[in-house]
Amino acid sequence: MGGPSRRGNAVLVAATYLTVLAVLVLPVLLVMVEALRTGIMAAWRSLLDPDALSAIRLTLVVTLVATLVNTAGGIMAAWLVTKYRFRGRGALVALIELPISVSPVIAGLVWLLLFGRQGWWGDWLDRHNIQIAFATPGILLATLFVTFPYVARTLMPFMEQQGREAEEAAFLLGAGFWRTLWRVTLPDARWALLSGILLTTARGIGEFGAVSVVSGHIPGLTETMPLHIETLYNGYQTVAAFTMAALLALIAMATVLLRSFLEHDFRKASS
Amino acid sequence: MSVQIQSLTRRAPNASRKMLDGVSLTIEDGAFVALVGPSGAGKTTLLRTIAGLDGPYEGTVLVDGQVLAGRPMRERRIGFVFQNYALFRHMTVARNISFGLDVLPRGERPDRGAIAARVAELLELIQLPTLGGAYPDQLSGGQRQRVALARALATKPGLLLLDEPFGALDPIVRRQIRRWLRGLHDQLGLTTVLVTHDHDEALEVADRLVVMQNGRIVQEAAAETLDAAPATPFVMEFLGEALEFAGRVAHGRFLPDDPNVLSFAVGAGDGPATAYLRPHEARLVAGGGAARAIPLTGGQGGLRRLAVALGTREVEILVLPERLGQAGTEGLGLDIGRARLFRDGAPLAGAPPVVTGQELPRVTVG
């Protein structure tokens, strides 16, 4: 009885592994191989190029700020939406998820429409000498928009299940709002929160579309790592392009690994 | 600490339904009061309102003669225990217990040693002296319950509010914790308000019962009074199994509609009435009618259960085992002389005083 279905299972498992290998692992491996084709020193030197360093620095700064802002915003949004029932709550939940479904290019275009030279506030910004589009603030805004949902989305199911009682207990024991959040709600949700922060980081580092629209692609100035990769590749600097890509892939993989490690830990803790 | 509540009304959010409807209640200092009633009666809402949780209300709530709203929690001296304990999962038992002390402003906070001593003292009190380092997930339901109590007691409250605190415990642990809680109440000189839907529990632990229904207080009295003189048929039925007999009062006697149920003397005016009594208060009288009795399996508190076939229906009563001989015989009448009489939902004035010094053991029927 169990024979055919067991064989079927084995085939299915093998197919899954093959697919994962072909679609997920192979590209990353190819990127690595391509980066190291002329030796590790050449790869290393390509990273020390001033434009490359500038791209890495910009990416790290933008990601750091975006992650900090969206962690704070995501905590507040998740808390509000899960612990209170109010008019328009459903609409707010949908809005939080909007950046996931909207194409990043549109997110970038919106900022251009608002802050670009021909945009709504372009004149005013120009007169006051404030540069948003084609500068770091624009890149930051685009990254903020694209990465907003992740902390909120990972916290929401957890906070929903948390309920209000522990917070009410803390309140009745004399703890105020911030202290309750800091000592009761967030420590309890720490794994979900960390997981959300890591997702935000990974998404922020890798964002291409929205940033590409508002950045203006000025090497050494407004190019993040993904944009710089494109510039290098288009300029036939294959080794440099693939080295940067490999670095990006390594960071992304480290984040994913850390996250699954945390999730495993979290599941163990909550079972 | 005493609690005075005057015409308290609360509405459900986004609805005009009243969760509490003109509730007035006074709880004396040192009292142990149980709020009882079916689910949705407003018990928990009333408890949460006293604690200062949830939104706006109409009416006044005074604790020790003072309005609590707007005063900092630490000055209110209220301890609250939630139905599902609401322990902090990421903190040890000791940290859970000391939370109320840890969050005090610097000037009022005891030093570390004093907090540790207080935690040790409370762990001793809840009989879990070795579990300070454990996490709530590692405890049994009864242990969690006691930790929740210790946490609520750490700041030395004068008023202890408990929301269905025994709901999730098995019957044996339930009974133990109930007794222990009552002892604690007496030992610490607390004023305690307990919410429960289990009347047995309320009868065992509390001095006074407040019976609620549809957001109102139906009756507030000591347990014996509630049983002897229930204010409405609902109270009668809520406090235990009750048999109902329709009939009317004429010329100083209650005449049941069913000819197999015996009439009895009352001091009430003529008119329709309904009689309610507990199954163990009914008695069979030979030659009193045309009823038949059939023994059933099971019983309660040493009493045996009998099915009595009346003219149009069958009722179940409880009798002493030696009276089981009546079963099988015919021509029986049912004596309900100890019933409480109601007319239009209110007790009938002049109904006979309920016999004290009962010859039967008192049974509470669940």
Among candidates B78, B86, B104 on the partner chain, residue whose Cβ is nearest the Cβ of A165: B86
Query: Under an 8 A CB cutoff, do A174 and B82 touch?
Result: no
Question: Are residue A27 and residue A81 in the same domain, yes or no?
Answer: no
A178 in contact with B, Cβ within 8 Å: no
Q: Tell me how close the Cα of A77 comes to any Cα of chain B, in angstroms.
A: 21
Query: Under an 8 A CB cutoff, do A174 and B151 touch?
Result: no
CA separation for the pair A115, A130 (Å, rounded)? 10
Question: Are residue A44 and residue A31 in the same domain, yes or no?
Answer: no
Question: Are residue A18 and residue A108 in the same domain, yes or no?
Answer: no
CA separation for the pair B154, B188 (Å, rounded)? 12
Q: Is B25 left (phi over 0), alpha (psi -120 to 50) or beta?
A: beta
Question: Are residue A116 and residue A230 in the same domain, yes or no?
Answer: yes
Query: Under an 8 A CB cutoff, do A171 and B72 touch?
Result: no
Among candidates B73, B89, B104 on the partner chain, residue whose Cβ is nearest the Cβ of A171: B73
Q: Tell me how close the Cα of A164 comes to any Cα of chain B, in angstroms.
A: 9
Going residue by residue through chain B, which has 366 residues, state the pLDDT in tens, using 9 for 90 and above. 899 999 999 988 777 788 999 999 999 999 999 999 988 899 999 999 999 888 788 999 999 988 887 788 878 889 999 988 999 999 999 999 999 999 999 888 999 999 999 999 999 988 899 999 999 999 998 899 999 999 999 999 999 999 998 877 788 888 888 888 999 999 999 999 999 988 888 888 999 999 999 999 999 999 888 888 899 999 999 888 899 999 999 998 999 999 899 999 988 889 999 999 999 999 888 888 888 888 888 777 788 888 888 878 889 999 888 877 777 777 888 999 899 999 988 898 655 544 443 344 444 433
Query: Under an 8 A CB cutoff, do A172 and B99 touch?
Result: no
Query: Under an 8 A CB cutoff, do A188 and B90 touch?
Result: yes
How far from the centroid of its chain's Cα atoms is residue A207's Cα? 7
Question: Are residue A96 and residue A24 in the same domain, yes or no?
Answer: no
Give, as one character, the DSSP assignment of residue A38. Answer: T
Q: Tell me how close the Cα of B89 comes to any Cα of chain A, in angstroms.
A: 7
Interface of B with A (CB under 8 A): 13, 51-53, 72-74, 78-80, 82, 84, 86-91, 99-100, 103-104, 151-152, 155
Residue of chain A with shortest Cα separation from B157: A173
Domain count, chain A: 2
Question: Are residue A111 and residue A16 in the same domain, yes or no?
Answer: no
A171 in contact with B, Cβ within 8 Å: yes
Question: Are residue A80 and residue A107 in the same domain, yes or no?
Answer: yes
Query: Under an 8 A CB cutoff, do B82 and A169 touch?
Result: yes
Residue A146, both tokens: 């694209």
Q: Tell me how close the Cα of A187 comes to any Cα of chain B, in angstroms.
A: 7
Q: Tell me how close the Cα of A78 comes to any Cα of chain B, in angstroms.
A: 20
A183 in contact with B, Cβ within 8 Å: yes
Residues of chain A with pLDDT under 50: 1-2, 271
Among candidates A165, A175, A179 on the partner chain, residue whose Cβ is nearest the Cβ of B82: A165
Among candidates B72, B82, B90 on the partner chain, residue whose Cβ is nearest the Cβ of A187: B90
Residues forming a β-bridge with B6: B60
Query: Under an 8 A CB cutoff, do B103 and A175 touch?
Result: yes
Q: What is the CATH number of the domain that holds A188?
A: 1.10.3720.10
- From the list B247, B278, B281, the residue with the least C-alpha distance to B263 is B247
- Three-state DSSP at B293 gives strand
Question: Are residue A24 and residue A137 in the same domain, yes or no?
Answer: no
Q: Other C-beta atoms within 10 Å of B71: how many?
A: 12
CA separation for the pair B334, B263 (Å, rounded)? 9
- Half-sphere exposure for B338 (CA within 13 Å, toward CB): 19
Question: Are residue A119 and residue A212 in the same domain, yes or no?
Answer: yes
pTM for the whole structure: 0.81
Residue of chain B with shortest Cα separation from A167: B86
Q: Tell me how close the Cα of A149 comes to any Cα of chain B, in angstroms.
A: 26
User: Which residues constitute the domain of residue A233?
Assistant: 40-270
Query: Under an 8 A CB cutoff, do A168 and B53 touch?
Result: yes
Chain B environment of A165 (Cβ under 8 Å): 82, 84, 86
- Is the CB of residue A138 less than 8 Å from the CB of residue A114? no
Q: Which domains does chain B have, with CATH numbers?
A: 3-228 (3.40.50.300), 240-347 (no CATH)
Burial of B325-362, coded b for 16+ CB within 10 Å and e otherwise, reads: ebbeeeebbbbbbbbbbbbeeebbeebbeeeeeeebee
A1 in contact with B, Cβ within 8 Å: no
Chain B environment of A266 (Cβ under 8 Å): none
Please give the torsion angle defined by the CA atoms of residues B61, B23, B234 and B256, in that order, rounded to the nearest 10 degrees.
130
Chain A environment of B104 (Cβ under 8 Å): 174
- Is the CB of residue B257 less than 8 Å from the CB of residue B334? no
Query: Under an 8 A CB cutoff, do B86 and A168 touch?
Result: yes
Question: Are residue A123 and residue A229 in the same domain, yes or no?
Answer: yes
Q: Is B171 left (phi over 0), alpha (psi -120 to 50) or beta?
A: alpha
Chain B environment of A177 (Cβ under 8 Å): none
Question: Are residue A108 and residue A179 in the same domain, yes or no?
Answer: yes
Question: Are residue A92 and residue A4 in the same domain, yes or no?
Answer: no
A126 in contact with B, Cβ within 8 Å: no
